[in-house]
Amino acid sequence: MEITTKLGTIDSTIFIVYVIGLLCLALWVSRNEKKEGANTEDYFLASKSLPWWAIGASLIAANISAEQIIGMSGSGYAIGLAIASYEWMAAITLVLVGKYMLPIFLENKIFTMPQYLEQRFDTKVKTTMAIFWLAVYTFVNLTAVLWLGGMAIQTVAGVDWMFGMIFLAVFSVAYSLYGGLKAVAFTDILQVVLLVFGGLLLSYLALDAVADGQGVLAGFGILTDTMPEHFDMILSPDSDHYMSLPGISVLLGGMWVMNFSYWGFNQYIIQRALAAKDLKEAQKGIAFAAYLKLLMPLIVVLPGIAAVVLYPTLTTPDQAYPSMMAMLPVGIKGLVFAALVAAIVSSLASMTNSISTIFTMDIYTRFKPNESQRHYVHIGRIAALVSLCIALIVAQPLLGEFDQAFQYIQEFTGFFTPGIVVIFVLGMFWKRATSMGALSAALGSAVFSLILKFAWPELPFMDRVGLVFLLCLGLCYFVSIMGKPNTTDSSVSLEQVNFATSKPFNVAAIGVVLILTALYATWW
């Protein structure tokens, strides 16, 4: 079944108003930089002044993009509610990151993740991981978001994918390059409002359509009655999709490793929290983001499940979200399309800002240590532009042959995720970990993953990540024990870090746990 969705005049007008409005907001947010001149803290960390609501909104805007919206809706169509574990388990991961990891990073007053590794280990570890992250962000994350975004625009609006990619790149640059993280974070508030409102509206209309106008509760009841298998949160080994979501491992296995790597040690995510005015504000933002993650399956998974009833003969599952957009009335379609583009450009802006931060602060300053603050900001802008140009060039050759670009991201990053988590967790909580131990974990992660991929192909991806994590943990331990203790550790000791959290954060954390318990108890 071929889905074609064209935007009418009203839809296009709504979308153009959104684009102009976002650009005006970004220029207004960035107006002080023109008067006073930006330094590196202003540009890369928003002057360390972000309030909690901007942090939480920006975390989600950076996270949700075309691969989540289209890919997870497609997984909802094929697998069902089980794919929501990626979102719901992320909520509790955010709470743990806010309590145990964020205090360490903020106490060390860092700009970037590689900078912390230099403080804790040495320059070799920092440079190695900085180069790795620059390569992954440019050739995997940035490339995939551009490619999937271009394909989404082609499907929904009928515009050629290359023009769609160029538009997304230019749009993200237009509002983020001048104002830096501050422009990205504050415009993300508008993006998230649009994303949540547009997504919930689509889910409402989809459920109402399933029930032939009888309302969302009736529509949800029809879905649960006619497709109970699509509401199993924990898949059994005989499920066709067990390799993607291997049963209880989504609660106890490798998903924890992937979540901690993404939410705790990923520059373009954690950079928002590093830009908070203080720890309590950052933790409130993290808690806000956790509740938004609990809401996300209603926005990205439920429309895919509804599409099984409304469009049962789709050629591929990834057509689910575009097919649902095809049923929207005039005007609403433009709003939801704007929400989809909002998700894409906010992720692009976040990634390019983090690429510029890592390149400038971790690579360039090593060779040019005595330049002016304005010079470093200028270099950061050039780095962001270059990364986008590279991603535009390599997107089609890298991803054009993949049926599911989302799998390309998961497969590639999954080779290195276990080692990254080992480096940070042992680096933060075990003083005996050495730089050689850290580098061995980074190398071992890729080696162990490749060996297991080919020697044990029937092992589910998520279980492989968990097993490689344990192997890297052991490798880092033994290499560290056999070597000499580090003498270059300049990071703040744990005794100087305050892990106590405020009462509102604790109440929010308990709420997340209770909601997750109820969700899994209901749909087990």
Q: Which of 335, 313, 338 is nearest to 323 (CA)?
A: 313
Q: Is position 484 within any domain?
A: no
- Helix pair angle (9-29, 180-210), 10° resolution: 150
Compute the mean pLDDT over every residue in the chain, rounded to the nearest whole number: 89
* Parent domain of 352: 9-22+42-399
419 in any annotated domain: no
What is the rounded average pLDDT of the residues 118-136? 95
Partners of 404 in the beta sheet? none
pLDDT in tens, 38-63: 678 878 877 788 999 999 999 998 88
SS3 annotation, 148-168: HHHHHHHHHHCCCHHHHHHHH
8-36 average pLDDT score: 79
* Separation between Cα atoms, residue 2 and residue 48, nearest integer Å: 48
Residue 74 forms part of a structural domain:
yes
- CATH number of the domain encompassing residue 77: 1.20.1730.10
Residue 415 placed within a domain: no
The count of structural domains within the chain is 1
Within a domain: residue 128?
Answer: yes
Residue 120: band (very low, low, confident or very high) from pLDDT cuts 50, 70, 90: very high
Asked if residue 404 has pLDDT above 70, the reply is no
Per-residue DSSP letter, 234: S
Q: Could you tell me if residue 97 is inside a domain?
A: yes
Q: How many CA atoms lie within 13 A of 112 on its CB side?
A: 24
Cβ neighbours of residue 80 closer than 8 Å, sequence gap 6 or more: 227, 229, 230, 231, 232, 305
Predicted pLDDT of residue 36? 45
Task: Please write the tens of the pLDDT for every residue from 167-190.
Answer: 999 988 887 877 778 888 888 888
Q: Is residue 432 part of a domain?
A: no
Identify the pLDDT of residue 334. 87
Q: What is the mean pLDDT of residues 349-365?
A: 93
Burial of residue 174, with CB atoms counted within 10 A of its CB: 0-12 exposed, 13-18 middle, 19 or more buried = middle
Helices (H), 301-358: 302-310, 320-326, 332-358
User: Does residue 72 belong to any structural domain of this protein?
Assistant: yes
pLDDT of residue 27: 80
